[in-house]
């Protein structure tokens, strides 16, 4: 994993790729913005959601001890509008004995495509995920999650994604994702988002 | 949630519905059987998977403290071949502020459909999940996950599923799932599985 990280960091030097905030960073979403949008689109749901903005609330997938859960780093290529996520799933993500749970794979695809949407400057919600699980992924193996923005139609962003072995010889998973912009007028300031993200302590 | 539980427990009395082992039960899968099947179908992957059968391995979604993660109870109707799962997602499953993460919803659908396949007596792997997220689900709200076995074609089991509010007035999510039997000859003994499941300590 370290080796792959170094390879991508090298690619970042000429500006063609960008390192994104990863699993152990805290992405500073502007909660206020998101709440306003959610209220506009889902008034009843938001009433409930607002009540549940508890001190206990925590981003799904971040409650694992080091090495046991979701560990990943993402790189972004601006020209090709694609993200490569280097992902290693820990032993607490087990489904079948020795392998990743389908839900854990779906979660990583949602996270990677969601980040692609954020990079496109949009506040979005997942509307559809269609995932083909082709081969099981063993716990602790390092894999590549590729995410590509295919097209934007009005408020809809269409992504395609796959999960491959690091030598790109094994195709584990193929997926498409549809995300809906909550507000077509509103753009996230990605630079601000990246700068304000908190690195690990 | 307690009220719904009691209502379904009442339905269990005449034998039309059955209470299934739930989130805090340990389902005793016969690991040896599963390993043999995985070896037969995915020899290279299984080699890796076997290496990772660590003492640390733990079923995905079970590492939450009480009330913070996935809490659910499932009931099965034999005649209608369907499962109803009463699910309450805790604050550590957050995606958008105040709401469940798409990955957490996908995980619960995978778990519910997977249980439906186990009930059908099959050792399966998830092959496809196609999920439409129609409305956000707020943290801590109690919802119903319905799962229905639509058809079996050779080694393929087709399921449909949705997530509704408890009054069935709000449709949050619709999904289909395709599961592949690892061995068409082999049947799980559900009674044995249920009896051998370990209740919470």
- Cα dihedral B59→B63→B65→B68 (10° resolution): -90
Phi-psi label, residue B161: left if phi above 0, alpha if psi -120 to 50, beta otherwise: beta
Residue A190's pLDDT is 62
- ipTM exceeding 0.95, yes/no: no
Task: Flag if B98 and A50 touch (Cβ within 8 Å).
Answer: yes
Query: According to the model, what pLDDT value does residue A183 have?
Result: 74
- pLDDT of B158 reads 95
Look at B57 and A100 and tell me if their CB atoms are within 8 Å.
Answer: no
Residue B127 has its nearest CB partner, among A128, A133, A140, at: A133
Q: A102 and B114: CB-CB below 8 Å?
A: yes
State the first-to-last Cα distance of chain B, in angstroms, to the nearest integer: 21
| Neighboring chain B residues of A23 at a CB cutoff of 8 Å | none
Q: Is the pTM of this model over 0.90?
A: no
Cα distances (angstroms) measured from residue A166 to each of A17, A66, A143: 18, 22, 5
Write down the pLDDT at residue A201.
44
CA atoms of B178 and A134, how far apart (whole Å): 12
Sign of the CA dihedral running A82, A88, A94, A98: positive
Q: How many CB pairs under 8 A join A and B?
A: 219
- The C-alpha atoms of residue B198 and residue B108 are separated, in whole angstroms, by 21
Return the beta strands (E) in chain B as ranges.
17-19, 70-77, 82-89, 124-133, 142-153, 156-165, 171-181
Closest residue on chain B to A48 (Cα): B138
> pLDDT truncated to tens, each residue of chain A (201 aa)?
788 888 888 888 888 888 886 665 555 455 556 666 666 666 666 655 555 555 678 888 888 888 889 999 889 888 888 899 999 999 999 998 889 999 999 999 999 999 888 887 778 899 999 999 999 999 999 999 999 999 999 999 999 999 999 999 999 999 999 999 887 676 666 666 665 555 554
Q: How far is B20 from chain A (nearest CA, A)?
A: 18
Contact yes or no for A57 and B129 at CB 8 A: no
Q: Which token pair is A72?
A: 């990943």
Which of B49, B63, B135, B170 to mutate to test binding with chain A, by most A CBs within 10 Å of its CB? Answer: B49
Domain spanning A2-21+67-196, CATH architecture: Roll (3.10)
Where do the DSSP E strands lie in A92-201?
A: 124-133, 142-153, 156-165, 171-181
DSSP A115: H
Separation CA B14–CA B56 (nearest Å): 41
Nearest Cβ partner of A130 from B46, B114, B130?
Answer: B130
The set of residues, in sequence order, having a beta carbon less than 8 Å from that of B34 and lying 6+ positions away, is A96, A97, B123, B182
Tell me whether residues B54 and A101 touch, CB distance under 8 A.
Answer: no
Between helix A31-41 and helix A43-51 the angle, nearest 10°, is 140
Task: Please pick, among B6, B31, B78, B110, the residue that the annotation labels catalytic.
Answer: B110
Which residues of chain A are within 8 Å of residue B38 when distances are taken between CB atoms? 96-99, 136
Q: Please, where are the H alpha helices in A27-139?
A: 31-41, 43-51, 102-119
| Residue B76: partners with Cβ closer than 8 Å, 6 or more residues away | B17, B18, B20, B82, B83, B119
Query: Does residue A110 have an active-site annotation?
Result: yes
User: Residue B11: in which H helix or E strand, if any?
Assistant: helix B2-12
| pLDDT < 50 regions, chain B | 28, 201
* Tens-digit pLDDT profile for residues B58-102: 888 888 888 889 999 899 888 888 999 999 999 999 998 889 999
Distance CA A122, CA B39 (A): 44
d(CA A53, CA A49): 7
Q: Quick check: A45 and B106 CB within 8 A? A: no
Q: Which residues partner with A151 through β-bridges? A: A158
Ranges for all domains in chain A classified under CATH 3.10.129.10: 2-21+67-196
Interchain CB distance below 8 Å, A129 and B127: no
- Report the C-alpha gap between B52 and A16 in whole angstroms: 36
Contacts of A71 in chain B (CB under 8 A): none
Distance CA B141, CA B99 (A): 9
Q: How far is B194 from chain A (nearest CA, A)?
A: 18
Contact list, B52 vs chain A (CB under 8 Å): 91, 98, 138-141
The span from the CA of A27 to the CA of A37, in Å, is 18
Q: By C-alpha distance, which of B93, B60, B165 is closest to A54? A: B93
């Amino acid at each position: 994993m370290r080796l792959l990280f170094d390879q991508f960091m090298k690619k970042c030097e000429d500006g063609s790729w960008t390192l994104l905030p990863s699993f152990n960073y805290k992405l500073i979403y502007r909660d206020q913005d998101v709440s306003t949008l959610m209220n506009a689109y889902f008034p009843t749901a938001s009433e409930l959601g607002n009540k549940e903005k508890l001190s206990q609330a925590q981003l799904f997938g971040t409650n694992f001890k080091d090495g046991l859960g979701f560990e990943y780093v993402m790189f972004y290529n601006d020209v090709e509008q694609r993200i490569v996520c280097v992902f290693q799933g820990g032993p607490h993500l087990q489904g079948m004995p020795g392998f990743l749970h389908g839900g854990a794979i779906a979660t990583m695809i949602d996270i990677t495509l969601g980040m692609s949407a954020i990079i496109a400057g949009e506040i979005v919600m997942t509307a559809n995920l269609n995932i083909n699980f082709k081969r099981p992924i063993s716990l602790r193996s390092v894999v590549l999650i590729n995410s590509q923005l295919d097209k934007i139609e009005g408020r809809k962003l269409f992504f395609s994604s796959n999960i491959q072995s690091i030598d790109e010889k094994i195709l584990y998973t193929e997926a498409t994702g549809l995300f809906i912009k909550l507000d077509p007028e509103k753009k996230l300031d990605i630079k601000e988002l990246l700068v304000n993200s908190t690195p690990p302590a």
